[in-house]
């Protein structure tokens, strides 16, 4: 790891090889762009002087494109490794526990994919036991759906239990009420910085020209609402009530050492989905429920890469906008303790999860605290943290009024 004069605790995942971007507000000034280094936030407006960093979102900075992102990262590294800059520490570094973190981007569009073969196979086996687990299109294209950009929320924002129509298979008719099968989904999100033209597809090799960085995503899911509504058009109200993202956007440059090949794709994808240099990522994820680790999904086993998702998302001519967010879908591995959702961990509620404190869960209960975290390995073997995305479940509005 390159030495820095900034205070970085031993083993921190926020050393100089990481440098993720976020939006923060100190007590004395408004919201602005910062970079996390150790347990501090580097104030980029004060440190570098560019007014683009005096914004309440990363969008204006991200819109400037890859050359500017690369140059800015170089400037930050130079500043943090120049010992003469230590005298400015009090002016440009803010202790993390003395600032407020915010939603890092203005979300333009939100697309969620379904890129884990293990997750898709688990759900297919659950709900179509007499048929093939994967539908015929699954290995030919990255399946996805459009979500609600307006319901993307910052880590730490409570999630209110949603209400909607539910109908169990044995029920004669649907009923309306709070979801009884509230779930989480461990996901990885990709943030678009540079837009594209309407009508012009973006190829897999252009991935790094457009995608700024990576965040953690919890795509909250009301499984009972979803089960009743999703045929024939797919997810709607069971998904659109809230999606939480982490406060830090890790730039792609910080994850170069974490790149790995995607799993063997058979059949071979169509030409527009071919990757000259595969964009698999070796990310280690963790799902913690009420302080107890219940699963560790491995992102390296995701079948479809983010470059393939981006290419498929635009192959019909759909344009990209600064602030677009697209997510991987639930990350699950082949082992039971690598499943990235409660519906898998409890096999649709038939195998309750036993927590170390003696409690059991099939789906989330009011008051539950969910934390997702993730990390990768940096160029010198140092950890690269994706941070955390966390939220507590609140009772439905009717119960609190």
Catalytic residues: 119
pLDDT for residue 129 is more than 70: yes
> Quick one: pLDDT band at residue 1, thresholds 50, 70, 90?
low
What is the rounded CA–CA span in Å between residue 159 and residue 179? 13
Structure tokens given for 238: 């069971």
Q: What is the pLDDT of residue 397?
A: 81
| Residue 214: partners with Cβ closer than 8 Å, 6 or more residues away | 188, 189, 190, 191, 249, 250, 252, 255, 281, 386
DSSP run (H or E) holding 212: strand 211-218
Q: What is the pLDDT of residue 380?
A: 85
pLDDT for residue 401 is more than 70: no
> Quick one: pLDDT band at residue 400, thresholds 50, 70, 90?
low
What is the rounded CA–CA span in Å between residue 13 and residue 30? 27
Task: Kindly tell me the burial class for residue 317, based on how many C-beta atoms sit within 10 Å of its own C-beta (0-12, 13-18, 19 or more).
Answer: exposed
Structure tokens given for 42: 């580097």
For the chain, give the mean pLDDT. Answer: 96
CA distances from 48 to 80, 158, 279 (A): 12, 34, 31
pLDDT for residue 162 is more than 70: yes
Query: DSSP states of 299-355 as a string?
Result: GGG-SS-HHHHHHHHHTTSPPP-TT-EEE------SSGGG-SSHHHHTTTTTSPEEP
> Quick one: pLDDT band at residue 398, thresholds 50, 70, 90?
low
Q: Of all residues in the chain, what percent carry a pLDDT higher than 70?
A: 99
pTM of the model: 0.97
Q: What is the pLDDT of residue 209?
A: 98
pLDDT for residue 399 is more than 60: no
Q: What is the pLDDT of residue 169?
A: 87
pLDDT for residue 327 is more than 60: yes
On whether the CB atoms of residues 105 and 59 are closer than 8 A, the answer is yes
pLDDT tens digit sequence for 46-73: 999 999 999 999 999 999 999 999 999 9
Q: What is the pLDDT of residue 313?
A: 98
Q: What is the pLDDT of residue 266?
A: 96
> Quick one: pLDDT band at residue 338, thresholds 50, 70, 90?
very high
Stretch 164-183: mean pLDDT: 95
What is the rounded CA–CA span in Å between residue 203 and residue 209? 10
pLDDT tens digit sequence for 258-285: 999 999 999 999 999 999 988 999 999 9
Listed in order, strand segments (DSSP E) in 63-210 are 93-95, 100-102, 110-113, 144-146, 152-154, 159-160, 163-166, 175-178, 182-183, 186-192
Q: What is the pLDDT of residue 29?
A: 82
The region of weakest confidence among 169-173, 188-192, 322-326 is 169-173
Buried b (16+ CB within 10 A) or exposed e, 276-288: eebbbbbbbbbbb
Q: Of all residues in the chain, what percent carry a pLDDT higher than 90?
A: 94
On whether the CB atoms of residues 299 and 328 are closer than 8 A, the answer is yes
């Amino acid at each position: 790891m390159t030495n820095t004069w900034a205070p970085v605790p031993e083993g921190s995942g926020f050393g100089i090889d990481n440098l993720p971007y976020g939006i923060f507000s100190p007590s004395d000034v408004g919201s602005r762009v910062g970079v996390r280094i150790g347990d501090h936030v580097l104030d980029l407006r004060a440190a570098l002087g560019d007014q683009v960093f005096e914004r309440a979102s990363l969008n204006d900075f991200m819109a400037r494109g890859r050359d500017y992102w690369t140059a800015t990262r170089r400037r930050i590294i130079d500043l943090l490794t120049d010992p003469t800059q230590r005298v400015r520490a009090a002016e440009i570094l803010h202790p993390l526990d003395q600032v407020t973190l915010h939603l890092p981007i203005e979300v333009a569009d939100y697309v969620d994919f379904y890129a884990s073969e293990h997750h898709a196979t688990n759900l297919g086996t659950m709900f179509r036991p007499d048929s093939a687990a994967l539908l015929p299109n699954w290995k030919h294209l990255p399946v996805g759906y459009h979500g609600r950009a307006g319901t993307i929320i910052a880590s730490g924002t409570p999630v209110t239990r949603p209400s909607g129509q539910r109908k169990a298979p044995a029920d004669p008719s649907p009923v309306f009420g709070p979801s009884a099968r509230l779930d989480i989904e461990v996901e990885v999100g990709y943030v678009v910085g540079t837009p594209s033209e309407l009508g012009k597809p973006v190829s897999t090799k252009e991935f790094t020209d457009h995608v700024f960085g990576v965040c953690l995503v919890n795509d909250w899911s009301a499984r009972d609402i979803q089960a009743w509504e999703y045929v024939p058009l797919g997810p709607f109200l069971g998904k659109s009530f809230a999606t939480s993202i982490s406060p830090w956007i890790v730039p792609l440059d910080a994850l170069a050492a974490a790149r790995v090949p995607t799993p063997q794709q058979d059949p071979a994808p169509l030409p527009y989905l071919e990757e000259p240099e595969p964009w698999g990522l070796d990310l280690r994820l963790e799902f913690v429920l009420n302080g107890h680790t219940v699963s560790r999904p491995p992102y390296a086993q995701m079948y479809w890469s983010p470059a393939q998702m981006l290419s498929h998302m635009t192959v019909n001519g759909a344009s990209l906008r600064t602030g677009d967010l697209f997510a991987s879908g639930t990350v699950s591995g082949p082992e039971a303790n690598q499943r990235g959702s409660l519906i898998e961990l409890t096999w649709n509620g038939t195998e309750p999860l036993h927590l170390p404190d003696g409690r059991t869960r099939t789906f989330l209960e009011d008051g539950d605290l969910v934390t997702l975290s993730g990390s990768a390995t940096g160029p010198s073997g140092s950890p690269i943290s994706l941070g955390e995305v966390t939220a507590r479940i609140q009772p439905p509005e009717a119960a609190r009024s």
